[in-house]
Amino acid sequence: MQVLFWGLRDLKRVNLAQVDRPRVDIECAGKGVQSALIQNYKKNPNFSTLVKWFEVDLPENELLHPPLNIRVVDCRAFGRYTLVGSHAVTTLRKFIYRPVDKSANNLSASEEIVINTEPEQHVKKVETVVKLDSTSDAVVKLDMNEDEKGKKKKRKKGEGEIEEEELDESMLDWWSKYFASIETMMEVYNKELENEFANFEDWLHTFNLYRGKSGDDDDQNVADEDRLIGRFKGSLCMYKVPLADDITREPGYDPTMGMFQSIPHNDPINILVRVYVVRATDLHPADINGKADPYIAIKLGKSEIRDKENYISKQLNPIFGK
């Protein structure tokens, strides 16, 4: 069982004391592992060591797997620690690593049916004219049906030449223009992206940490939102040992990262945030005269900007343009 320790988020107070030095304990079937200790939660809520693992004996049947318990404790002075919150993973099915069967892939590739999804190109129908003799104007037409008889080409009777109608270029290029427009289209999301992309949990999961137990008699009327005390960001990967040699011998394989290859570092970085404030509409009146004197106030973490000196006087629909 490999565990990815990324970090902790939104930890609340425990017994009126802030969480300063948290640690995560993972336990499954009597075995477990502990994360690295976060020395200063306010300064950096991420773990210094990303991946750890432990060995555990589990049955082959996935339905018989025991739950995996996640506990977060706060390590305090004199060797004391306090339980912050816990989470129980009842099913481990989605965290099981299943190696790809290359023989099955080769078999499916050999039996693969290729379907051309490209738009069909417009093919001009050609009329074949056969002159039987000098006095006969009989014409033999190939590949013509009843619906296409109304689309005959014009023929010049004087010289026996065939004059074709000019085809509409817009009809010829309709499919190509359509598919070209799809490639250049931009989709604008007017809501949170987490709901559209499964909370971005393709390689990093969020485990909610709860205080107490949901089945306690004293907490029967307490909702899960009230018991929520924080979140643990990480992931799990369970596989049979020994691991296949073709995985460990891949180019660029890092043994310290295990099955979590190509995971970026979680070290804090300095970023520059640009905020463009254009205008505000339908503000609530704050003065006696039914107007307001709005100004811009921005807060991100410990950084705060209050542009109170450049307020706009007596406006409910101010235009800032900054």
Helical ranges in the chain per DSSP H: 102-110, 169-172, 174-184, 193-196, 224-227, 245-248
In the chain, which residues have pLDDT < 70? 101-175, 177, 214-222
For residue 52, list its beta bridge partners.
3
Q: Which residues contact 55 (CB under 8 A, 6 or more apart)?
A: 1, 31, 241
**Does the reported pTM lie above 0.75?**
no
Nearest to 15, CA basis, from 109, 85, 114, 88 = 85
For 137-195, the pLDDT digits (tens) are 444 444 444 444 444 444 444 445 555 556 555 555 666 767 777 777 777 788 888 77
Q: What is the DSSP letter of 36?
A: P
- pLDDT confidence of residue 218: 54
Domains and their CATH numbers in the chain? 2-100+199-248 (2.60.40.150), 270-322 (2.60.40.150)
- pLDDT confidence of residue 144: 47
